[in-house]
Structure 1
């Protein structure tokens, strides 16, 4: 894959069904500040930690389009005295809440998130989002979506995995697929998205022939 991929986000709604209006407003301010800078991945995370009462490990990739959220959190632990609490997402996935506040008792133990998008994917070869969307309709499990995409000769970036397959840590899923015998090659490509207003390099994956 050569050139650059552009993600033109026409609709992007990521919500927690019981989210307080205070948090909704805080996230709105964070995203606006990130766009104005425009802020890179680590700076986006730093802005969120400083301005939102608490963030969750599930929401960080989707809210801030972070493809390496756990590593970024680890990198900022020396800078911030982060408090952490284990919680449950969407009734089945365990994760963490992170906050600069010392008292986490008022933070819920469970979260229910929803994502609704309309995104155009434009690359140098004339490809579109259609095949990724079709796989998302046919298959429910995120890793199985990734497996089918690779077997269908698609080249999958970390943002493709996030937007259409619901994959937050694509490198981990790629590693698990490799252990099953799939020969998956890794490279990087430049991407732009109009949600963060940034251009950066992200990994992409393809099945070796």
Structure 2
């Protein structure tokens, strides 16, 4: 396994279908500040919580490239005194809204997002995103995408899962696949992406045997 994977992001668009212009501007400013400061995961989350009127648990991993969003939220909830309420995502998923505002009754109860990207996955000098894209075209269910990738002998990082398979909590899906009988190893690799302009250690999974 290579010591580092670079994600060269040529296009990255994630937004709520009916996103108010005010929120769009807030997110644009937060992401610009994250890049300028080369902010780490917790710092990116803190900036978002402090500067965006409200955020959903579904959007945080995609907006901020967070691979452990629930743990980071738990770490900051007491410090920032967040208010939350349950919401529905895309008609059939449950999530939460977080906000520093006291009155959150005006926040929508349902959300629907759109996501498109063009990303080059560069490993040991070679572009390697095509196999992940092809699997994403074959099936829709994120866990099934992960299963096919592992069975094809591909290493799958948490960012691979996020960018191409739509997986917010890849560790939970890996655990489910292990319970079904798949032998999956876990390691770590340095990952750099041009959206956050940071390098960090991320988990990488492979099928054993």
Normalising by structure 2, report the TM-score: 0.99
Residue aligning to 1:39: 39
Distance (Å, rounded) in 2 between the aligned partners of 1:173 and 1:150: 12
1:145 aligns with 2:145: yes
- 1:79 partner SS: helix
Residue aligning to 1:154: 154
Q: Which stretches of structure 1, 4 residues or longer, exceed 4 Å deviation after superposition? A: none
Residue aligning to 1:58: 58
Contact 2:17 2:112 in 1 (8 A): yes
1:183-198 equivalent positions in 2, closer than 5 A: 183-198=183-198
- 1:67 partner SS: coil
Following superposition, the deviation at residue 2 of structure 1 comes to 2.3
Distance (Å, rounded) in 1 between the aligned partners of 2:74 and 2:7: 28
Residue aligning to 1:199: 199
Following superposition, the deviation at residue 3 of structure 1 comes to 1.7
Following superposition, the deviation at residue 78 of structure 1 comes to 2.0
Normalising by structure 1, report the TM-score: 0.99
RMSD of aligned alpha carbons: 0.8
Distance (Å, rounded) in 1 between the aligned partners of 2:111 and 2:207: 35
Distance (Å, rounded) in 1 between the aligned partners of 2:127 and 2:155: 10
1:70-81 equivalent positions in 2, closer than 5 A: 70-81=70-81
Unaligned runs of 5+ residues in structure 2 are none
**What are the Cα deviations for residues 41-65 of structure 1, in whole angstroms up to 9, with x where unaligned?**
0000000000000000000000000
Distance (Å, rounded) in 1 between the aligned partners of 2:125 and 2:25: 39
Contact 2:120 2:127 in 1 (8 A): no
Aligned residue-pair number: 209
Distance (Å, rounded) in 1 between the aligned partners of 2:50 and 2:80: 9
